[in-house]
Amino acid sequence: MTDVPAVDAGPWRQHLRAAQAPLNASFLAGGGARALLAGRARVVDRLLRDIWHALALPAELSLAAVGGYGRGELYPGSDVDILILVPDGHVLASTPVIERLIGLLWDVGMEIGHSVRTIEECLEQAVRDVTVQTNLLEARLLIGNAALFDAFSTAFAAQLDPVAFFKAKRLEQEERYARHADTIYSLEPNCKESPGGLRDLQTIEWVARAAGLGSQWREMARHGLITDGEVRQLQRSEDFLRNLRIRLHLLTGRREDRLLFDHQESLAAQFRIGASRTRRASELFMQRYYRNAKLVTQLNTLLLQNLGQRLFPSRQIEPIVIDEHFQMVRELLDMRSDDLFERQPRAILEAFLLMQQRGELKGMTARTLRALWRARHRLDAAFRRHPEHRALFLSLFQQRRGLTHELRRMNQYDILGHYLPAFGRIVGQMQHDLFHVYTVDQHILQVIRNLRRFTLADYAHEYPLCTRLITSFDEPWLLYLAALFHDIAKGRGGDHSLLGMRDARRFCRSHGLNESQTGLVVFLVREHLTMSRVAQKEDLSDPEVIGRFARVVGDERRLTALYLLTVADIRGTSPKVWNAWKGKLLEDLFRATRRLLRGDRPAAAGEDKQHLASNRLRLYGLRPGVEEALWQRLDAAYFLRHDAEEIAWHARHLWNQPETAAPVVHARINPVGEGLQVFVYTPDQPRLFARLCGFFSRLGFSIAEAKVHTTSHGHALDSFVLLDAGDALPLRDMIAIVEHELTEELTHQPPLAPPTVFRLPRKLRHFPLEPVVSIRPDEKDGRHLLSLAAADRPGLLYAVAIILAEHAIELHMARITTLGERVEDTFVVSGSELARPASLVQLERELLAVLR
């Protein structure tokens, strides 16, 4: 065939828009998602048939809808997936008209996903690729050679192996989950592909269809796979997700399945969800989404387990009786009677306790999980008051294994939230604070998981100090209880630490903990942010700082417990928040406070460091005493703020040039974690700190810490820890670049470039952080503490340093703290303008302006 009729795409395009507009309007006016999806599919069906006729395609060809379109569901932004079936030997002859068809469909305004195959090619591709097989599973004839399509359908059905298909879809789901971090609680989940999304429901439908057990929820119920109640739950969850995906497509005008921050507020408004006194509308909307996603994953687990039992019949295995209530079936915990949890509600908690105590159990049977879900409401106020039930719940935390897995399972099936209603309120609650990437409930469970990992030999290499401390800590289960309550009051308004402390005290007393146990848990919940704040914002070289913190913790046991909880807490916020430098700060604070609590004299720390540094210098072959010429020019604060290894590093390079007029720059791989350490020794010069910040910013580094010192003879000795270098060169190659180019910069002192104005990241535009500036006297040496909190961005510290230089503010110490997308920086500064109220106000205004 060489002559292809010429067809104008314009009228078809107008017809498509005109036919879709009322469908969209009807949906937005309150129509159902099913009506829109089916209506759009019918519109496209008619259009494809009309175009097929207009192009006079050969009668021997078949046109079929596949994938979601084949199922009769066409979302506003979805591709139109079609299959053109051709008989053997006719492919080349039909090529021009098929190419014209596909081109015309694109011109009309359809996003076409097409394939042109013979029956044999379809079968071959289906064997190789389960995605192709899934698309073809829902093939639907639109027009053309019905006999050819029937032959394809017969051959496809004969080749389809339900067992192999089930295995492939399970593996595909595991891989999909892994791509989305195995969590439904992503900040910006994909409502189609993420765990708990539409794909989880479609996977069930595909497997059931392939097994001949129905393709609709009601059909699956008739085959005994699900109950009528679960059918209603599935329908509600599916309608919610369909509705959400349609609105996303209409809102963005394209195929967009991610719940980006850009759209969450608008979607909340469309779902008629408004803000509360303490929470944004988007947070309430996302909580609804997460709870729906959790239900979808529950039902997905139940149905796939039931389908697996149907598809993998095995010889009857005699159950192994565990006790009067439970038995083991194929390594799964199974209830011995269907009404167990209704007759004996305490067995609900016993089930999770057995999972912890018996390592041979790999999970629970579908009927047990289903019964747990149905019985969750039995955990009412009377249940919670029963002494036996309280003892059972407490014993979950005292077991040697399985706590994290069982708490997650209890949360998944709403058991934990019903036993602890305060926990139930924070399930699915998002934390838009720019550094938590988990919902509150998932963060809490992550913190408990981190504490448990400290106890396991397999993870001892990760945090050896934490492992040593927790293995010698009596009653570590108290730490897990504190972790359970530390953020349980988020979102109520007010100080969540104090509110959570009250919840924890009530729980401990009602569950029979003694005063000492209760006191530790309450202390940890109340002070769970204190150690992080002191380590990251205060000067750990100051004995008064250590002394104040020691008075807060009171004794070494509480110090150890707070240190373990703090490390686990920070690690449980986001992979971006924790780094080795934060770990070192916490460890330094822990060790310094422990020394003080044990009665060591803190004033001797500087002398001890000098002694240790001298010993290190001897290892490098330096004669005794050569370092004194340098050290005599440094004050006590220098030796307090640096550890012995850093002091030795500086002295090794500077002992023979303390009076040098030329800049000295040295860099090395950070010995305590990622990034680089850099020190600069040079005669002091105007705007030195600003110059250094600008240089490091241009190279793509962020400054984790700055220690600024001025010697008695006017030299600056400034030290930096640099993180997050760009990927252009390995860090070892960056050492030479930093040393050479920074020396050149300090030698020639070119004019400082104005700070670069960067566009805020998308996340910060939707969750803006109001900047805060605080300047208060330090009550010693005439210095002030300058505290800044703002959204992070490249070059921010450089812009701040420029303003400080313009006001002749001298910098003595800088503590740079990055919490995800937020920075909280603390500086010790001095300057005459700080004593004049008018100048101080002007400085604050300029800092606020640049932070915004």
Query: Which tokens go with 480?
Result: 């897990």
Kindly state whether residue 85 falls inside one of the protein's structural domains: yes
Q: Is 242 exposed, middle or buried (0-12, 13-18, 19+ CB in 10 A)?
A: buried
- The CATH code of the domain that includes 171 is 1.20.120.330
Q: Which residues pair with 827 in a beta bridge?
A: 786, 814
- Residue range 818-822: average pLDDT? 67
- Which band of pLDDT confidence, cut at 50, 70 and 90, is reported for residue 603? very low
Q: Are residues 533 and 612 in the same domain?
A: no
CA distances from residue 384 to 372, 389, 482, 484, 510 in whole angstroms, order as listed: 16, 7, 19, 17, 10
Question: Is the distance from CB of 482 to CB of 568 less than 8 angstroms?
Answer: no
**Same domain flag for 720 and 842:** yes
* Position 615 in a domain: yes
Q: Model confidence over 58-101: pLDDT tens digits?
A: 899 999 999 999 999 999 999 999 999 999 876 554 578 888 89
pLDDT, mean over the chain: 89
Average the pLDDT over 342-350 and give the result.
Answer: 96
On whether residue 323 sits in a domain, the answer given is no
Considering Cα of 505, then 448, then 467, then 566, what sign does the dihedral take? negative
* 561 and 503 assigned to the same domain: yes
Is residue 267 within 8 A of residue 247, CB to CB? The reply is yes
What H or E segment, with its residue span, contains residue 544? Answer: helix 543-553
Q: How far apart are CA 136 and CA 210, in angstroms?
A: 11
Using CB atoms within 10 Å of the CB of residue 388, give its burial: 0 to 12 exposed, 13 to 18 middle, 19+ buried.
exposed
Using CA atoms, how far residue 404 sits from 295, 359, 442, 453, 831, in Å, is 20, 14, 11, 10, 53
Percentage of the chain beyond pLDDT 70 is 93
Question: 106 and 213 share a domain?
Answer: no
Which of 264, 287, 313 is the C-terminal boundary of a domain?
313
Percent of the chain residues topping a pLDDT of 90: 64
Long-range contacts of the stretch 517-521 (C-beta < 8 A, 24+): 517/475, 517/478, 520/478, 520/482, 520/557, 520/558, 520/561, 521/478, 521/481, 521/482, 521/485
- Residues 63 and 116: their CA atoms lie apart, in Å, by 10
> Do 44 and 80 contact (CB within 8 A), yes or no?
yes
Number of domains the chain is built from: 5
Q: Has residue 394 been placed in a domain? A: no
Q: Which residues pair with 715 in a beta bridge?
A: 683
Residue 724 φ/ψ region, left for φ over 0, alpha for ψ in the -120 to 50 degree band, beta for the rest: left
The residue type of 359 is: G
One domain, residues 149 and 170: no
Tell me which residue of 288, 279, 271 sits closest to 189, measured CA to CA.
Answer: 288
Query: Is pLDDT above 50 for 9?
Result: yes
**CA-CA distance, 76 to 36, in Å (whole number)?**
9
* Same domain as 587, residue 464: yes
**Residue pair 512/521 in contact by the 8 Å Cβ criterion:** no
Assess if residue 203 is contained within a domain.
yes
Alpha-carbon gap, residue 337 to 324, rounded angstroms:
10
Residue 710, φ and ψ in degrees, nearest 5:
-120, 125
In this structure, the answer to whether residues 123 and 265 fall within a common structural domain is no
Q: What is the number of other CB atoms lying within 10 angstroms of the CB of residue 561?
A: 24
Largest CA distance in the chain: 99
Interval 474-532: pLDDT, tens: 999 999 999 999 999 998 888 999 999 999 999 999 999 999 999 999 999 999 999 99
Distance CA 161, CA 210 (A): 8
Q: From CA 508, how far away is CA 514, in angstroms rounded?
A: 8
pLDDT of residue 637: 78
Residue 362 domain flag: no
Same domain for 294 and 145?
Answer: no
Looking at the predicted structure, is the pLDDT value of residue 284 above 50?
yes
What average pLDDT does this structure show over 684-703?
88
The per-residue DSSP string of 400-437 comes to SS-HHHHHHHHHHTTHHHHHSHHHHHTTT----SSS--
Output the six-digit token pair for 48. Answer: 């494809």
pLDDT value of residue 764:
59
Which of these, 370, 365, 356, lies nearest to 329 by C-alpha position? 365
pLDDT tens for residues 348-358? 999 999 999 99
Q: How far apart are CA 61 and CA 55, in angstroms?
A: 13
Do residues 81 and 169 share a domain? Answer: no
Residue 540 lies in a domain: yes
The mean-pLDDT minimum among 54-63, 177-186, 339-348, 558-567 falls in 177-186
Q: What is the CATH number of the domain that holds 102?
A: 3.30.460.10
Which of 615, 644, 673 terminates a domain? The answer is 644
Triad 193, 196, 200: Cα angle to 5°: 65
| 194 and 287 part of one domain | yes
Give pLDDT tens digits for 452-480: 999 998 888 888 999 999 999 999 999 99
What would the mean pLDDT of 403-431 be, rounded to a whole number? 93
The sheet carrying 363-364 orders its strands as: 320-321, 326-329, 332-335, 363-364
* Residue 493, domain extent: 423-600
User: For residue 701, what pLDDT is reported?
Assistant: 87
CATH assignment of the domain containing 667: 3.30.70.260
Of 106, 128, 160, the residue at which a domain comes to its end is 160
Instruction: Mark whether 742 and 773 lie in a shared domain.
Output: yes
Q: Return the pLDDT at 752.
A: 86
Same domain, 22 and 69: yes
Residue 532 CA to residue 400 CA, distance in Å, equals 28
342 within domain boundaries: no
